[in-house]
Amino acid sequence: MRPHHNHWPARVPHAIRVPATSLYDNLATSARRFPDKVALEFLGRSTCFEELRQQVDTLAAFLYQLGVRRGDRVVLDMQNTPQLVVAHFAILRANAVVVPVNPMNRAQELQHYITDPDARVAIVTSDLAADMAQASQALPPEQALHHLIVTHYTDAFDPTQAGDLPASWAPWLLARPELPKPDGVSVWTWAQALACPDKPPRHEVGRSDMALLPYTSGTTGLPKGCIHPQRSLMHNVCAGSLWGGSSHENIALCVVPMFHITGIVVLLHTCIYLGATMVIMPRWDRELAGQLISRHRVTHWTNIPTMVIDLLGSPNFDRFDLSSLQYIGGGGAGMPQAVAQRLLDLYGLSYVEGYGLTETAAPSHSNPPDRPKQQCLGVPYVSADARVINPDTLQEVPVGESGEIIIRGPMVFDGYWKRPEATAAAFIEFDGQRYFRSGDMGRVDEEGYFFMTDRLKRMINASGFKVWPAEVESLLFRHPAIQEACVIATRDAYRGESVKAVVVLRAGQQGRVSEQDIIDWCRDNMAVYKAPRVVQFVDSLPKSGSGKVMWRALQEAENP
């Protein structure tokens, strides 16, 4: 027994056994149990579980026809759509591995997501197809894609039946751009893929087979793939359904991106496992969110706090009916106490915060739903153990003192793809057990609740999106006018933190390139959430005696 077990949710076991079945089997089971039940609601169109299973099996057969075999990695690059759900499970059905990619990434960034996992097939929405094709075209033939499956958003809904859509959505949601024709790549439409007459291959993967290869960045180098077998995801799917007292009657608003580990595990897989209904939003819009919660009687909403803040600030808030909500929570950033109190006063809802990493299949910690603490990471999750240690001595620190959070449990990943040295550095032995080093600094109180205090890693948290300065810096160095750059966080009243670039220009570029020029270039060449919103020109960057840029000095000067 640990201190937090005194406040454990009622009727939830401290640890659970992971099912031996596959993640795809969860869909097959739900389709048998609830064939006519609505699985997906998307802009006026409903998809039942049996229809979803049929589409998944057909696409899996098509992937097999294209040469996808057991263990192959397939890139999936989409916003939240029914097609993302179909493609994700079809890849698993084909005994392959899902490589989820943030659709904000641009062509230069996408090259890494093709070459590092050795992917030969990618599935994208048409608004992203040109960037994916450009990324593949820039690679040597032996590293490039062989096949590109492209779907339009309107393949999944009828615009005439969708009701009032946000005006800003029309240019990308309703468009049907011409498909790219990159050299050496076969381009297939969604209709062609779902017309495949073949049967899917025999489903033969087990709980130890890799299912997901999501990428996470760090303090140095390019993003690293996190090897997640079926069992690590399955654990948190089963644990999550128990933790919140969920059932197949759940109706979840799915607006947290399902290319992100939280959306993948907490929304996509948990809803399919339960047989729950997913109300899908491709992007955030507060007015539409309020309408969907009201219309579909949404019961569960996992989000990032900025979404709640935005919804509560709507001039139409009084017209929304949020009375159906039974659970609201999330993570990625702290929920301001005043906002949490307003939710409690209006609806009797306690905002439940959690904590996790790509390496831990989303939650490694969560607040007990009936006894949450505000601006708190929560307690170690089902089957998990976490400690706070001195990062130098690797000894556990006393209650209340800050140290590095270390985690062990069945949700922890197997290691970094093709990075044995990084994998070895990510784990330590503590009390005779193997623990993952989170790189996050925290403290634990006398009741066993964890709180974030700082980060060992250089990470910027912009509205819940993690931005790794080393990655942004490597992209900035491609700008012909930039000699040196250091990326730091700057305070942002709405997003919490934003990205700032401190830049030294090359000789002769002063006066010829403006700060706005750099910002505009960044938006064209990297995901918008990574792109610096502030650029500061300096004559030189502070450096240590060994020549390393002293980023911490710049950070402390920015936010003293």
CA 216 – CA 434 distance, rounded (Å): 21
Average pLDDT over residues 129-155: 97
Q: pLDDT per residue over 361-405, tens digit each?
A: 999 999 999 899 988 999 999 999 999 999 999 999 999 999 999
Q: pLDDT per residue over 7-59, tens digit each?
A: 999 999 999 999 999 999 999 999 999 999 999 999 999 999 999 999 999 99
pLDDT above 90: residue 506: no
| Portion of the chain with pLDDT greater than 70, in percent | 98
Is residue 525 situated within a structural domain? yes
Lowest-confidence pick of 65-74, 303-312, 428-437: 303-312
CA-based nearest residue to 90, from 147, 23, 45: 23
Q: What is the pLDDT of residue 220?
A: 63
Give residue 545's pLDDT band: very low, low, confident or very high (50, 70, 90). low
Q: Give residue 106's domain range.
A: 26-205
In terms of C-beta density within 10 A (0-12 exposed, 13-18 middle, 19 or more buried), how is residue 120 classed? buried
Average pLDDT over residues 423-433: 96
pLDDT above 90: residue 458: no
Q: What is the pLDDT of residue 306?
A: 80
| Residue that is last in its domain, among 144, 176, 205 | 205
Is residue 414 situated within a structural domain? no
| Residue that is last in its domain, among 172, 205, 238 | 205
What does the mean pLDDT of the chain come to?
A: 93
The answer to whether the beta carbons of residues 363 and 232 sit under 8 Å apart is no
Is residue 453 situated within a structural domain? no
| Residue that is last in its domain, among 155, 182, 205 | 205
Query: Strands, E, within 285-399: which ranges?
Result: 300-303, 327-330, 352-357, 362-366, 379-380, 385-389
Q: CA of 291: how far to CAs of 172, 285, 286, 451, in Å?
A: 21, 10, 9, 34
Is residue 372 situated within a structural domain? no
Q: What is the pLDDT of residue 382?
A: 98
C-alpha neighbours within 13 Å on the C-beta side of residue 338:
3
pLDDT above 60: residue 69: yes
The DSSP letter of residue 543 is: B
pLDDT above 80: residue 248: yes
Give residue 513's pLDDT band: very low, low, confident or very high (50, 70, 90). very high
The DSSP letter of residue 409 is: S
In CATH, what number is assigned to the domain containing residue 91?
3.40.50.980
Average pLDDT over residues 246-267: 96
Lowest-confidence pick of 91-105, 172-186, 209-223, 285-299: 209-223
Q: What is the pLDDT of residue 493?
A: 80
Give residue 126's pLDDT band: very low, low, confident or very high (50, 70, 90). very high
Total count of residues recorded for the chain: 560
Q: What is the pLDDT of residue 218?
A: 64
Q: What is the pLDDT of residue 158?
A: 95
Q: What is the pLDDT of residue 559?
A: 81
In CATH, what number is assigned to the domain containing residue 513?
3.30.300.30
Q: What is the pLDDT of residue 334?
A: 74
The number of folded domains in the chain is 2
pLDDT above 80: residue 529: yes
